[in-house]
Structure 1
């Protein structure tokens, strides 16, 4: 269809044919994924919104799109305000909005393969107050009007070697089996794609930037498993790797298979499994235990093999970043460099390592005011040149077989203003405060979040996103359950106590709408820390990311002696870690960029 307005009209016509008064469109798939394959990009197809979190509601005479603070600017630039109202979460929930807008007695459709059971319960309660009903659809009405909807990927799985995983799949399945025994359960449903990839030591290319394969799994109390994946995606090497303990079934047979679990006790994660899974088990007469996916915590706590791989990936990636930053500093003053050219160059430099499998997300390459859009994605329509006197923000990452990277740097193009330097230095002070934090075992990320915000708060400033997220091991760049944020998140598993071995991002920022954005991001590892006289077991952070921080944007006088010491020591370590991977002009530039301040 020629426009998003046409698509909205077609959906409304389909809803009328389906005898529905509305429909809810989340940005997810059958696995509750954050990033989804092209076949599941229903929200983007309908609205034009390309962020990684959002929901739309379509009624006969009005429509709304719900996004959080990360996408306040982006949603307005991508979604037509003539046809859609912009709603901010968590201030306004989909359920509450429906309660205030649904017609009395209305029928609101939802796809049970795209929503959690808890969401269904909340929405049903809200609609019930208006005499309205939440109606489960047998076929998603968007699929009925999306004529050229892509097919799900048929790409084959690959084996993730034990040199990178540090543990065999059989060992991981036995750990799950032991856990099932402790819970008195017969089996556990694994619906999250990264959980399945981690458990079976396989990877795939079914979702852009996340090396996972479309599959469901059921792990049994005897350590065997049923893996539901299209057989054409399994070659001889993968089949041999999985072994006799893993039975392979077509992915489409998963729902029917659940019907055979009568009288069995099944553990299901309510945050990572859609409502349709619960309903299938209910119909089968199974006993459901609502428990968190048993792979979540062991996946988050990296073992020595995973950490060794991650450090190797970071060194390789940091050298590519340094080459890129020198290139930007050299080319930008000419006035011809733009966002798309820059992001293409950065990807090319990562590819030159010979190890890049994919980017870990779409590069955020934001010049000037586009840098203030937190999750900006450059396009031909929005592409800006890196103009003298502006800031350039680049948030990017690579997927390597040995690790997943994520780094943000903000650089000056020409001479920055005093305000830019002040704001950058406050962000840097917050970054350092979190990097150097010491905290008792059991502390949660929400208790540390204000460390990074305090220098901004002191000037009446803030940023509308979390300070840190977990990162996978050649898996999702956003991995729970750990995070550093003002509040816990249901999607990431809540407010999890930090434990040694967890990797998180440290990424405070500042964004001035219409002018510029600033963010400084490194990945950090939670480690044990020894402090003389300590009466509690302490943890802290080891910095894992190594690339220069733009000294031209730092107000030296605003840094304490300790902060200046951290910065100079960090830059010395940058030269030590990534210098050996550089030569000639790149190495000379790095040494100058990392000279003591």
Structure 2
């Protein structure tokens, strides 16, 4: 099937004289995850992971993806003629490097200008111009060959109450306009679906697990225009928008709007987010201030209302997770259960919690060697039975009205090897050591990553993903600009200063291909500590309240301080969660939060 699709695509490329065609994982808004309509890269390659870029020439095809997906991609690309390019690995060219080396003199590079951001598009344009070639960016060739392509989503819009957000639209818009004025901008174009939803205090459902609305926004000193699919506007939504002086226009009309921006305007926009077609449609005489949307930092710093709500969300989530862990521990080997049925049961427990809106991403439930596939997705074909032995890795989360959760736990389902205990304990130590960092204001994610990796670097091992990412507030579960990562390269945000109110995951792991995988993930709120003559000190508040499986812990590996970290954490978990469980569940929790 993939071979046939590549053949059809090459036929369309040949008709237009296109030598190289790029198919990224992207929608028109540079979203991390995309709706069904936008899964063009999945369509053309067969690779189902959430990140990757396909580059097709008339003779060969490659897929670039990151370390989370090396194992999965290798399996899914088998027999497709598409070569896996492991991003960041020694000897592997970047996408841009490959294109620059491959494009012939006077050649033509093609892509849909709506799914390539402006900054990348301009780099590609400069590269092509050096070779005296041209760009073909005004057509979506995948759309031509994808005969049964799903339509654009038109999910309902929810007005998100200020009692959860802690701030109304008018105040948020006032802050944005202040930032525009500081930058000398008279018009701000927004394309990020997360930032638009956050700013307007609305949530939608146009991407699975990501409650956003397909739309654009244009903000001036006196107006705010929301470009969306107008058929989803209800009388209630219209009244809400009218009350906040927000007008609407059709979604697709945004492209005509930007063409008509007067030369007198100074436009603020982030070309790393706004797509190439929009950027290239703005008249050359219009001054553009290319900078990050002010809302990126605003939404990353949670206010006290949000933080209090987030704590409530994590309490609910912990109840579901503890009940799931109890069910696993008491029933494995006694009743039939598989990766999929266990995942479904956890979803049921989450949805039983008050104000649960949805999962925050598709649950990853990987048993034994499947746990070594970092973003494994069980299918009816790959689904395996859970046995009372070995390790089960479960990465999951939920959206509640009060906030979003993301948690990973690895469970010992029965006897585990000494090696498994050794690796599990190293992951636990990694997690706890990072969570207990105390630091001066001004530090960033780069400063902390070694605290998590040290137990593995000590034995010349490592995990091939970041240690932590920001969390959206009922938005994308992965949110910048804060993160924990040791490596600096374009696109990483680990160099951003951690501000009070930012929430970042703490999720070290280890993955031994073909054997097992382990990850432990909690969420940390950055808080202010003591301020003295040495400066402002900061610390992390741990808001994930679920036991770390003591059946897989080797206490002899841990220092007295590390044991104290784990014991104190488990004491907090028991105090907060036990009163919310049934009697037998609470008794079980007491055992699994005992001091070691």
SS of residue paired to 1:586: helix
Give the TM-score normalised by structure 1: 0.96
SS of equivalent residue, structure 1 residue 539: strand
Aligned equivalents of 2:420 and 2:9: distance in 1?
46
Q: 1:493 to 1:426 in 2, by over 3 A?
A: closer
Q: 1:322-361, aligned counterparts within 5 Å? A: 322-334=322-334, 336-361=336-361
Distance of 1:255 and 1:551 partners within structure 2: 56
Tell me how far apart the structure 1 counterparts of residues 164 and 522 of structure 2 sit (CA, whole Å): 22
8 Å contact 1:178–1:221 — kept in the other structure?
no
Deviation at 1:486, TM superposition (A): 1.4
Distance in 1 between the 2:582 and 2:440 partners?
Answer: 43
1:535-565 CA-to-partner distances (Å, cap 9, x unmatched) read 1211110001000110011110111111111
**Residue matched to 1:106:** 107
Alignment CA distance shift 1:217-1:439 (3 Å): same
Q: 1:103 Cα shift? A: 4.0
Per-residue deviation, residues 161-220 of structure 1 (Å, max 9, x unmatched): 000111111110111111111111111111000000000000000000011000000111
When normalised by structure 2's length, the TM-score is: 0.96
Partner of 2:73: 75
In structure 2, distance between residues paired with 1:494 and 1:252: 35
CA distance in 2, matches of 1:342, 1:157: 31
Q: Which residue, 43, 56, 72 being the options, matches 1:45?
A: 43
What's the counterpart of residue 565 of structure 1? Answer: 564
Q: Is the 8 A contact 1:272 1:293 kept in 2?
A: no
Q: Is the CA contact (8 Å cut-off) linking 2:259 and 2:282 kept in structure 1? A: yes
**Is the contact between residue 3 and residue 80 of structure 2 (CA under 8 Å) also seen in structure 1?**
no
1:6 aligned to 1, 4, 7, which one?
A: 4
1:552 corresponding residue in structure 2: 551
The 1-side partners of 2:493 and 2:483 are apart by 9
Question: What is the alpha-carbon distance in structure 2 between the residues aligned to residue 588 and residue 5 of structure 1?
Answer: 57
**Which residue does the alignment assign to 2:283?**
282
Aligned partner of 1:199 in structure 2 is 199
**How far apart are the structure 1 equivalents of 2:536 and 2:35?**
43
* Cα distance in structure 1, aligned partners of 2:186 and 2:593: 56
Q: 1:227-285 CA distances to partner (integer Å, 9 max, x unpaired)?
A: 001111111222222225111000110011112211200101122211122112235x3
The CA distance in 2 between the partners of 1:47 and 1:387, in whole Å, is 34
Q: Which residue of 2 aligns with 1:229?
A: 228
Alpha-carbon distance between aligned partners in 2 of 1:215 and 1:239, rounded to the nearest angstrom: 15
**Does structure 2 conserve the Cα–Cα contact (< 8 Å) formed by 1:98 and 1:127?**
no
Q: What is the CA deviation profile of residues 482-506 of structure 1, one whole-angstrom value per residue up to 9, with x for unaligned ones? A: 0001134654656210011000000
1:577 equivalent in structure 2? 576
| Contact kept in structure 2, 1:271 and 1:490, CA below 8 Å | no
Q: Does 1:418 align with 2:418?
A: yes
Following superposition, the deviation at residue 51 of structure 1 comes to 1.4
Per-residue CA deviations over 1:134-170 (Å, capped at 9, x if unaligned) read: 5233220000000010111112211000001111111
Specify the alignment match of 1:273 in structure 2: 274
1:453: how far off? Answer: 0.2
Equivalent in the alignment of 1:438:
438
- The aligned counterpart of 2:142 is 142
Tell me, in whole angstroms, the C-alpha distance in 2 between the residues paired with 1:52 and 1:491. 16
Runs of 4+ in 1 over 6 A off after TM superposition: none
Whole-Å Cα distance in 2 between the matches of residues 489 and 180 of structure 1? 28
Structure 2 gap ranges (5+): none
Contact 2:398/2:404 (<8 A) preserved: yes
Q: CA deviation at 1:19?
A: 2.3
Q: Counterparts of 1:62 and 1:133 in 2: how far apart (Å)?
A: 20
Partner of 2:94: 93
**Is 1:423–1:510's contact at 8 Å kept on the other side of the alignment?**
yes
Residue 318 (structure 2) aligns with: 318
Per-residue CA distance 1:31-62 (angstroms, 9 max, x = gap): 00001111001111111212121100011111
Q: Which runs of 5+ in 1 are unaligned?
A: none
How many angstroms does 1:288 deviate by?
A: 0.5
Aligned 1:460-479 pairs, distance under 5 A: 460-479=460-479
CA contact (8 A) 1:11 1:142 kept: yes
Larger mean CA deviation between 6-15 and 402-411 belongs to: 6-15
1:458-504, Cα deviation, whole Å (9 max, x unpaired) = 11111000000000111110000000011346546562100110000
Aligned residues: 591
Residue 379 of structure 1 corresponds to 379
1:120 corresponding residue in structure 2: 121
Alpha-carbon separation, structure 2, partners of 1:558 and 1:534 = 38
Single out whichever of 487-496 and 390-399 deviates more from structure 2.
Answer: 487-496
Aligned counterpart in structure 2 of residue 15 of structure 1, from 13, 16, 20: 13
Alpha-carbon contact 1:498-1:526 (below 8 Å) kept: yes
Q: How far did residue 104 of structure 1 move? A: 4.2
Structure 1 pair 505/218, CA: closer, same or farther in 2 (3 Å)? same
Residue of structure 1 in register with 2:216 after alignment: 216
After TM superposition, the structure 1 stretch with the greater mean CA deviation from structure 2, 358-367 or 113-122, is 113-122
For 2:401 and 2:278, the matched residues in 1 are separated by: 32
Moved more, 453-462 or 14-23: 14-23
Q: What's the offset of the Cα at 1:93? A: 1.0
